Amino acid sequence: KQEVTQIPAALSVPEGENLVLNCSFTDSAIYNLQWFRQDPGKGLTSLLLIQSSQREQTSGRLNASLDKSSGRSTLYIAASQPGDSATYLCAVRPGGSYIPTFGRGTSLIVHP
C-alpha cells in the first residue's frame, strides 16, 4: 500500500527565505503527483501537477520536482511571503488507480 510522508510537519520562517518542502512515497509506480495548498477552514487549491514522465513543473515562485526512483518530490518556494502561510499537501496517484494517497501536510508560517 502506498504511503506518503511529508517532512517537516510544521515550519516557521521569516519573510524572504527560500523554502523546500519534502514529500516521500514508498511505491515508485506512480501515475502523477499533485501539490496542494490549504488555508484554514478552506478547501484544497491545486498548485502543481507532475506526471510520472516529467521531472519538474514551475508556476511563478513555485517549483516542484519529482524523482520517482528515490520516491521523492520537493516543492520549492522562492522568496517566501506572509501570504504563503498555509498547509501544503502532496498527493500521489498510483498507476492503474484513480485514487490518490495524501500526505498529512506541512504547516507553513511565514512571518514578516
Partner 1 sequence: DGGITQSPKYLFRKEGQNVTLSCEQNLNHDAMYWYRQDPGQGLRLIYYSQIVNDFQKGDIAEGYSVSREKKESFPLTVTSAQKNPTAFYLCASSIVGQGREDEQFFGPGTRLTVL
**Residue from 23, 75, 77, 89 that binds partner 1 (CB under 8 A)?**
89
* Cβ nearer to partner 1, comparing 92 with 110: 92
Q: Smallest distance, Å, CB 9 to partner 1?
A: 10
**Residue from 53, 83, 98, 112 that binds partner 1 (CB under 8 A)?**
98
Per CB under 8 A, does 55 bind partner 1? no
Please choose, from the candidates 1, 36, 3, 39, the residue with its C-alpha nearest in 3D space to the C-alpha of residue 21. 36
* Cβ nearer to partner 1, comparing 11 with 49: 49
Q: With 0-12 CB in 10 A as exposed, 13-18 as middle and 19+ as buried, what is 25?
A: buried
* Cβ nearer to partner 1, comparing 75 with 80: 75
Per CB under 8 A, does 102 bind partner 1? yes
Question: Which residue's C-alpha cell is 518542502?
Answer: 21
Site for partner 1, rule CB under 8 A: 4, 31-32, 34, 36, 41-46, 49, 89, 91, 93, 98-100, 102-105
